[in-house]
Structure 1
Amino acid sequence: MARLKAAGCDIIREEKASGKSRDGRTELDTILSFIRPGDTLVVVKLDRLGRSTRDVLNLVHELDQKGAALRVLEPDMSTSGPMGKAMLTVLGMVAEMELGFIKERQRAGIEKAKAGGVYKGRPVSLDHTKIKTLYAQGMGATELAQAMRCSRSAIYKVLNQ
């Protein structure tokens, strides 16, 4: 936040949502709805804005349509000129590649852990036997959910296994 203030930003918005897609990015939606011609959207790093080249380029296009620009502090660049737009495309591709590498390493780590018997997935939190027994005795899904302190969908998942 200090870097944004040092860059001269008057209004600073932040959100915890991932940059891998625009879903659930309410702060970004708010910014895009209020940005005006001549405004500049400033982000510290490009991967905080988006990890998909397509998303980043679509955001830049939206900003262009509104007469606004994008400025990235690290590395310092802006879309106000043609060179900045070319650099943005390259950096967007690098961010997308990095996301692919992260997913690949994560997948490899999980497979290795599974092979070693370390990773078994999320621990079972419901007593499946008890649920099936009570259901067989005539207890309904809603009643079971209340008794087991879980959702009805969790009950149905157990029953459908």
Structure 2
Amino acid sequence: MAPPSQAPKRPWYRLKRTWFIGVPVLLFILMNPVGGGAGSTPTAATPPAVAGTAVKQSAPPEVLNVTADQLLDALEANALKASETYLNKRVRIEGRLSNVDASGKYFSLSRSDDSFTFKRIRLYIEPEHRETVMHFTADQTVAATGTISDVDDSFGYTIQVESIG
């Protein structure tokens, strides 16, 4: 047996320190692509418009006209189907006002009848809508247009409001 000071050297790939240092460095490199920082220019730029040619604009997504009752009925009948049908869709919704958040972040719509449910439709507003929402009163009918950003089988829908009225 050779003395400890003369032990045979292991190849570099069998050393623990190689793995402890190399693996995290390799993961960092793979997860952070080269370039693409905030100040860089995109590699696939949009081609400039040719003189005399109109730039084709994509039409805004179609707006579905729904009521709060329709959305809540769909959610109670089948939450998966409601999610597939309405998630990330633009809607114009009309319903009965049930609550205005004290901080002014959202207001809620509920069923037109007085049946109790935990499911609500929360409409999150922008600062420019705050003045309008401040003048809402309980049980009034409210209409708003926005995008459904969340569908939850326990709590209901979340809508990001674009316009009210």
Q: With structure 2 as the length reference, what TM-score do the two structures score?
A: 0.26
Q: With structure 1 as the length reference, what TM-score do the two structures score?
A: 0.26
For the pair shown, which has the larger CA radius of gyration, 1 or 2? 2
